[in-house]
Structure 1
Amino acid sequence: MHICTSVCPYDCPDACGLLVTVEDGRVIRVAGAPDHPFTRGTLCPKMAHYERTVHSPRRLTTPLRRVGKKGSGEFAPLSWDEALKIIADKWRYIIKEYGAEAILPYSYAGTMGIVQHDAYHGLFYKLGASELDRTICAPAKGRGFQDVMGRTLPTAPQEAQKSDFIILWSIHMLATDIHFQHDLKTARQNGAKIYCIDTYKNKTAAWADCFIAVRPGTDGALALGLMHVLARENLTDEAFLAQNVIGWEELRREILPKYTPEKTEELTGVPAETVIELARMYGQAKAPFIRLGSGQSRYRNGAMTSRLITCLPAVVGAWGKQGGGLLTSASASKAYDKSIVRHPEWRQAGRRVVNMCRIGEALTRDDSIRSLYVYSSNPACTAPDQNQVIKGLSRENLFTVVHERFLTDTARYADIVLPATTSLEHDDAYYSYGNYTIQCGFQAIPPVGESRSNWEVACALARAMGIEDPFYRQSAKDLVEKLIATTSVWPEPVDRELLKSGRPTPLTLPADYNTSFATKSGKIEIRNDELTPALPDYLPLAEDKGELAFVNAPDMRILDSSFNERDELTKGQTMLLFIHPEDAARFDVHDGETVTLANERGSADFTAKISTCTGKGQVVSEGVWWQERVKGKHSVNVLTSQRLTDEADGSTFYDVRVDLHKK
Structure 2
Amino acid sequence: MPGTPVSTRAIHPTYDGLVKVLGACPLDCPDACSWVVTVEDGVATGLRGNKEHPVTRGALCVKVNRYLEQVGAPGRLRYPMRRVGPKGSGQFERISWDAALDEITTRVTGIIDEFGGEAIWPFHGTGSLGYLQGLEGFPGRRMFNLLGASHHAPTICSVAGGAGLRYTLGTSGGMDPEDFAQSKLILLWGTNPLTSGHHLWKFVQDSGAYLVSIDPVRTRTSERCDEHIAPLPGTDAALALGLLHVIVSLGAQDEQFIAEHTEGWPEFRDRIAEFTPERTAAITGVPRDRIVALGERIARTRPTAIRASQGMQRHAGGGMALRVLACLPGVTGDWAIPGGGLHYSTSGHFELDVAALTRDDLLPHPVRTLSMTRLGEALLETDEPPVKALFVIGANPVGSNPDQRRVIEGLSREDLFTVVLEHFDTDTVDYADIVLPATMQPEHLDVLAGYGHLYLIWNEPAVAPPGECLSTTETFRRLSQRLGLTEPALYDSDEELAAQLLKGYDLDRLRADGFLKVQAGPVPAGKLQFVSTRAQSAGHDPLPDYTPPADSGDGLVLISAASHYFLNSTFGSNPELRRRAGESSITLHPDDAAARGIADGAAVVVSNDRGSFEAVAEISDRVRPGVAGTTKGRWAKFTGGATVNATIAERDADYGGGAVFHDNRVEVRPR
Pairwise TM-score range, normalised by the shorter structure: over 0.9
Structure 1 residue 623, shift from structure 2 partner:
2.3
Map of 1:421 onto structure 2: 439
The 3-state SS of whatever aligns with 1:97 is helix
Structure 1 residue 50, shift from structure 2 partner:
1.3
Structure 1 residue 332, shift from structure 2 partner:
6.4
Does residue 256 (structure 1) correspond to residue 239 (structure 2)? The answer is no
Cα RMSD (Å): 1.4
Give 2:194's match in structure 1, choosing from 149, 157, 174.
174
The 3-state SS of whatever aligns with 1:116 is coil
Map Cα deviations across residues 30-72 of structure 1 (whole Å, 9 max, x no partner): 0010111212111101111211111111110100011111111
Q: Percent of pairs identical after alignment?
A: 36
Map of 2:409 onto structure 1: 391
Give 1:124's match in structure 2, choosing from 132, 141, 144.
144
Map of 1:465 onto structure 2: 483
Aligned residue type for 1:339: A
Give 1:537's match in structure 2, choosing from 538, 545, 552.
545
Map of 1:446 onto structure 2: 464
Instruction: Indicate conservation of the 8 Å contact 1:574/1:629, yes or no.
Output: no
Give 1:629's match in structure 2, choosing from 631, 634, 638.
638
C-alpha distance in 2, partners of 1:350/1:545? 42
Q: How many pairs align?
A: 644
Instruction: Indicate conservation of the 8 Å contact 2:608/2:666, yes or no.
Output: yes
C-alpha distance in 2, partners of 1:183/1:415? 47
Map of 2:236 onto structure 1: 219
State the TM-score, normalized to the length of structure 2: 0.94
State the TM-score, normalized to the length of structure 1: 0.95
Structure 1 residue 80, shift from structure 2 partner:
0.2
Map of 1:491 onto structure 2: none
Instruction: Indicate conservation of the 8 Å contact 1:220/1:308, yes or no.
Output: yes
Instruction: Indicate conservation of the 8 Å contact 1:141/1:297, yes or no.
Output: yes
Structure 1 residue 474, shift from structure 2 partner:
2.2
Map Cα deviations across residues 73-99 of structure 1 (whole Å, 9 max, x no partner): 110000000000000001111111222
C-alpha distance in 2, partners of 1:600/1:347? 41
The structure-2 alpha-carbon separation of the partners of 1:574 and 1:343, relative to structure 1 and needing over 3 Å to count, comes to farther
Does residue 154 (structure 1) correspond to residue 174 (structure 2)? The answer is yes
Structure 1 residue 333, shift from structure 2 partner:
6.3
Give 2:261's match in structure 1, choosing from 217, 238, 244.
244
Structure 1 residue 235, shift from structure 2 partner:
1.5
Structure 1 residue 442, shift from structure 2 partner:
1.3
Superposed, 1:524-563 pairs within 5 Å as 524-530=528-534, 531=536, 532-544=540-552, 546-563=554-571
The structure-2 alpha-carbon separation of the partners of 1:162 and 1:593, relative to structure 1 and needing over 3 Å to count, comes to same
In the alignment, structure 2 segments of 5+ residues that lack a partner are 1-17
Moved more, 8-17 or 128-137: 128-137
C-alpha distance in 2, partners of 1:148/1:288? 18
The structure-2 alpha-carbon separation of the partners of 1:10 and 1:317, relative to structure 1 and needing over 3 Å to count, comes to same
C-alpha distance in 2, partners of 1:546/1:499? 55
The 3-state SS of whatever aligns with 2:152 is strand
Map Cα deviations across residues 333-373 of structure 1 (whole Å, 9 max, x no partner): 62321122111212343423211111001111256111111
C-alpha distance in 2, partners of 1:158/1:537? 30
Map Cα deviations across residues 285-307 of structure 1 (whole Å, 9 max, x no partner): 12101111112210011111110
In the alignment, structure 1 segments of 5+ residues that lack a partner are 489-493
C-alpha distance in 1, partners of 2:83/2:620? 45
Does residue 375 (structure 1) correspond to residue 393 (structure 2)? The answer is yes
Does residue 639 (structure 1) correspond to residue 659 (structure 2)? The answer is no
Does residue 134 (structure 1) correspond to residue 154 (structure 2)? The answer is yes
C-alpha distance in 2, partners of 1:548/1:167? 26
Map Cα deviations across residues 174-231 of structure 1 (whole Å, 9 max, x no partner): 122110011011012xxx1011101110111111111110101000000110111111
C-alpha distance in 2, partners of 1:91/1:269? 54
Superposed, 1:300-339 pairs within 5 Å as 300-331=316-347, 334-339=350-355
Instruction: Indicate conservation of the 8 Å contact 2:350/2:518, yes or no.
Output: no
Structure 1 residue 502, shift from structure 2 partner:
4.8
C-alpha distance in 1, partners of 2:196/2:382? 37
Give 1:523's match in structure 2, choosing from 527, 547, 556.
527
Instruction: Indicate conservation of the 8 Å contact 1:32/1:40, yes or no.
Output: yes
Map Cα deviations across residues 106-145 of structure 1 (whole Å, 9 max, x no partner): 1122111101122111111110112221111010111111
Map of 1:356 onto structure 2: 372
C-alpha distance in 2, partners of 1:544/1:295? 19
The 3-state SS of whatever aligns with 1:605 is strand
C-alpha distance in 2, partners of 1:332/1:429? 16
Map of 2:205 onto structure 1: 185
Structure 1 residue 472, shift from structure 2 partner:
2.4
Instruction: Indicate conservation of the 8 Å contact 1:103/1:372, yes or no.
Output: yes
C-alpha distance in 2, partners of 1:614/1:508? 40
Give 1:145's match in structure 2, choosing from 159, 165, 171.
165
C-alpha distance in 1, partners of 2:554/2:366? 40
Instruction: Indicate conservation of the 8 Å contact 1:442/1:502, yes or no.
Output: no
Map Cα deviations across residues 500-523 of structure 1 (whole Å, 9 max, x no partner): 21512122346xx34xx32xxx31
Superposed, 1:507-518 pairs within 5 Å as 507-509=518-520, 513-514=522-523, 517-518=524-525
